[in-house]
Amino acid sequence: MAKPLKALADALTRGLEIVMVLCMVVMLAMVFGNVLLRLFFNSGIDLSEEIPRYAFVWMTFLGAIVGMRRRAHLGVDMLVRALPALGRRICWGISQAVMLVCCGYIVYGTWLQHDIIAGTSSPVAQISTLWVFGVSYLTGGAIGLICLSNLVRLAAGKVEESELIDVHEEGMGEAIEAEREMVEQQARSGVRP
């Protein structure tokens, strides 16, 4: 059961990455195009002031989900590294619980503001600002599900020791994954590391 869920989560994460790339392309094309229009034709597109800003909001909030899924957020791990395994598990559980509560507040706060942002239109595009700021429903819900899943795995004892340190230097995620695969291959072939 875990493998289909992991495959689904990987596919959803990949979809979010594609949307983030599309947001970046929209931002680049509209801002660069508007600069060229202003520079050479002394005109511009009004939407190019608003749409890139909204794409940036979406890219940032979706990036938070992808960062949480890939464990790529910044943090300080000096204290956690000094703790024994039980201390790491307790700290990791506390951090997941605190993030879950924060996600609940994000969704709840957006829900409280829902009618206001749904009834407000953007100045130029005249779209409901719910299409812009409603992304916090998605972000709070998705990160909350990730934290809840992590807490369930922790309670079931299925969290690996390497996961208890959520902070990795740039590029370390790939190195840790490669090391884990190498250890698994050595275990299958009977060679001790």
The structure tokens listed for 77 are 């791990």
> Measuring CA to CA, which residue among 144, 136, 142 is closest to residue 114?
136
- Helix residue spans in the chain (DSSP H): 2-41, 47-69, 78-82, 85-118, 130-133, 135-156, 172-189
So what's the pLDDT on residue 73?
A: 77
For residues 135 and 62, give the distance between their C-alpha atoms in angstroms, rounded to a whole number: 8
Mean pLDDT over 14-18 rounds to 95
pLDDT in tens, 85-99: 898 899 889 999 999
Give the three-state DSSP class for 121: strand
Query: Cα angle vertex 69, ends 64, 70, to 5°?
Result: 100
The amino acid that residue 14 corresponds to is R
pLDDT in tens, 21-39: 999 999 999 999 999 998 8
pTM of the model: 0.80
